Amino acid sequence: MVASAGIIIIGDEILSGRTKDSNINWIACELDNLGIRLKEARIIPDESSTIIKTIKCFTNKYTYVFSCGGIGPTHDDITTECVAKAFNQKLYKDSEAMRRLKLHYKGTNIEFNEARQKMAILPTNSELIDNPVSAAPGYRIENLFVFAGVPKIMQGMFNSILSDLKGGKKLKSKTVSSNIGEGLIAKDLEKIENKFLNVKIGSYPYFKPGSFGTSIVLRSEDEISLKKASEAILEIVIKLGGKGKIFDGNEIDDRSL
């Protein structure tokens, strides 16, 4: 069975547009490299009931769940208390997390006050996730990995838990780039998809000055089916009077058509 994943992005600042999310894209690429299928990503507010409900939903549906945001020292960082409630756990001040934070703030002019000590409070039955950037750890509880929201910190945390993730066979992809409209080839694409059930097909129109066309992206674990399906689509493009090329992966150059 192929491992699945969900991403939860927590923060009013994302929903308001003040902060642009880049974590979904980065994690999605890493999961794809590991052969783990990202099934859903959701951006939610700093609202207890929504966070708890989403965590319960995702952890029941997916092999791995990654949450980003809401574990800092400020009043609106409520992710940890919500995680504890979602898993019916109590909160405690972790001695190892405290040691790391004390060491991090030692020799600085920043006070290790009560608000910053909040970052050492974790749900029981959780395991620390290393933070090579700013010391304040993330944590894992069952199949949920709780990361900071700052992209560089999140990436450092993610890289530290790679050995905990068990992926499968990576999806291969091909792109058929053509100079015909999406509507013209839509019915034929449906036939190809019904014939090659183990190949996922998506069509994406592109527009350039003086020209337009369609890029058809095919993905599958089966390289033989992938090759046959992409060749069948190219044949249809030519029959419809268009021009096209097959590219490996998602990188294409429509100017060469």
Which tens digits make up the pLDDT trace of 181-191?
989 999 999 99
pTM score > 0.85 for this model? Answer: no
Per-residue model confidence as pLDDT tens digits over 225-252 = 999 999 999 999 999 999 999 998 755 5
In this predicted model, which residue has the larger pLDDT, 228 or 221?
228
Q: Which long-range contacts (CB under 8 A, 24 or more apart) does 122-125 make?
A: 122/80, 122/91, 122/92, 122/94, 122/97, 123/80, 123/83, 123/84, 123/87, 123/89, 123/90, 123/91, 124/84, 124/89, 124/90, 124/91, 124/92, 125/87, 125/89
**CATH class for the domain made up of 4-164:** alpha beta
Q: Which helix (H) or strand (E) holds 30?
A: helix 23-34
Per-residue model confidence as pLDDT tens digits over 84-123 = 999 999 999 999 999 999 998 988 889 999 999 999 999 9
Q: Is the pLDDT of residue 216 over 80?
A: yes
Q: Which helix (H) or strand (E) holds 236?
A: helix 223-239
- The reported pLDDT for the residue numbered 1 is 78
- Written as one letter, the residue type at 224 is I
- The reported pLDDT for the residue numbered 210 is 67
- The reported pLDDT for the residue numbered 251 is 55
Per-residue model confidence as pLDDT tens digits over 42-57 = 999 999 999 999 999 9
Q: How confident is the model at residue 135 (pLDDT cuts 50, 70, 90)?
A: confident
Q: How confident is the model at residue 170 (pLDDT cuts 50, 70, 90)?
A: confident
Q: Where are the domains of the chain?
A: 4-164, 172-256
Per-residue model confidence as pLDDT tens digits over 3-36 = 999 999 999 999 999 999 999 999 999 999 899 9
Question: What mean pLDDT comes out for the span 76-83?
Answer: 96
Rounded distance, CA 163 to CA 24, Å?
20
Please give the CATH topology (third level) of the domain spanning 172-256: Alpha-Beta Plaits (3.30.70)
Picking from 93, 111, 11, 16, the residue whose alpha carbon sits closest to that of residue 51 is 11
- Written as one letter, the residue type at 151 is P
Q: Which residue has the tokens 């790679």?
A: 162
- The reported pLDDT for the residue numbered 197 is 93
Q: Which helix (H) or strand (E) holds 102?
A: helix 95-105
Residue 64 near residue 58 (C-beta atoms within 8 A): no
Rounded distance, CA 63 to CA 153, Å?
23
First vs last C-alpha separation in the chain: 39
